[in-house]
Amino acid sequence: MISCPTIEKDVIRRHYDVSTLFYRLLWGRHIHHGYWDSDESPKLAQDQLTDRLFTAAAIDSGSCVVDIGCGMGGSSRRLAKEHACNVTGVTISSFQQRWAKLAAARYGLRRQTRFLRADAEQVEFEPGEFDVVWSIECTEHLFDKPAFIRRAAEWLKPGGTMAICAWLAGPDLDEAKRQQVFDVCEGFFCPSLATSDEYAGWMRDAGLVVERVEDWTRQVDRTWEICRDRVKRFAIYQAAKWIDQGQIVFLDRFQTILDAYRSGAMQYGCFVARKPEVG
């Protein structure tokens, strides 16, 4: 695991309160990568990533899901609309919570969704409350990843599923690649990035059976080409200087994360684990 000890939780919260507008302008309804099979539009690629994780995790329609790091609620709404799931979204950002609630109401999904503003490392749910713990690109921002996975495993019913997509540090990195990962952590407000083996180990330590570990790096890295080019095309730097100077470093690191994916310094992983049935 590669750590960036200067990251603070209040800075992460402020980042998402401020940067959500940038994400929406640059990318779309989902604050996560797209998944490409060929030449799909970014909008379709974003939906495909949610759909790929749903299929990989073999989630049943109508499941009770907690979406940790739900952002603007894009994946939560898709799970509710396309798969009749009842979804509780958790975001650290009050701005994102309000956005997610309004969007769910607009699309007629208020009864199937609720959105909480809470710290994923502090939020409490009842043991066995959910069929699925779902998280796309949130665990990067957690300070104690193993502790979160242990707590989240307790929220699952017997036979329930943990489905996570995460940015990862690659294996066996030389000093130059370790620096690439550190620069991504610093620019994207990640206290650390762990390896694929570490995630799988934490899930096993939490009593879960790991069923799938997949590397989706090549299918998702186009995300940062598109975002980088849109920053240049739409003069986003000028808007960032006006709104919040702190966003400049974030925008500057789009090329950094693309380079890290393509050098092998970083990977993008999909993890599916199951809680054993009782008896």
The whole-number average pLDDT for the span 169-174 is 95
Of the pLDDT bands very low, low, confident and very high (cuts 50, 70, 90), residue 279 is: low
Of 194, 261, 254, the closest CA to residue 3 belongs to: 194
**Rounded alpha-carbon distances, angstroms, from residue 230 to 1, 29, 31, 118, 224:** 31, 16, 15, 31, 10
Render pLDDT for 228-273 as a digit per residue (tens, 0 to 9). Answer: 887 766 555 455 444 455 554 566 678 899 999 999 999 999 999 9
pLDDT band at 227 (very low <50, low <70, confident <90, very high): confident
Which amino acid type is present at position 94?
S
Q: What percent of the chain has pLDDT over 70?
A: 88
Q: What is the mean pLDDT of residues 129-144?
A: 97
| Chain centroid, CA 204 distance in Å | 21
Cα(211)–Cα(160) distance, rounded to whole angstroms?
12
Report the percentage of the chain scoring pLDDT > 90. Answer: 77
Report the distance separating Cα 165 and Cα 137, nearest Å.
6
Report residue 198 CA to chain centroid gap: 17
What residue segments make up the domains of the chain, in order of their start? 2-274
pLDDT at 28: 63
Task: Among 3.40.50.300, 3.40.640.10, 3.40.50.1860, 3.40.50.150, name the CATH number for the domain at 2-274.
Answer: 3.40.50.150
The mean of the pLDDT values for the chain is: 90
pTM of the model: 0.91
pLDDT for 26 beyond 50 = yes
Q: Does the pLDDT at position 84 exceed 70?
A: yes
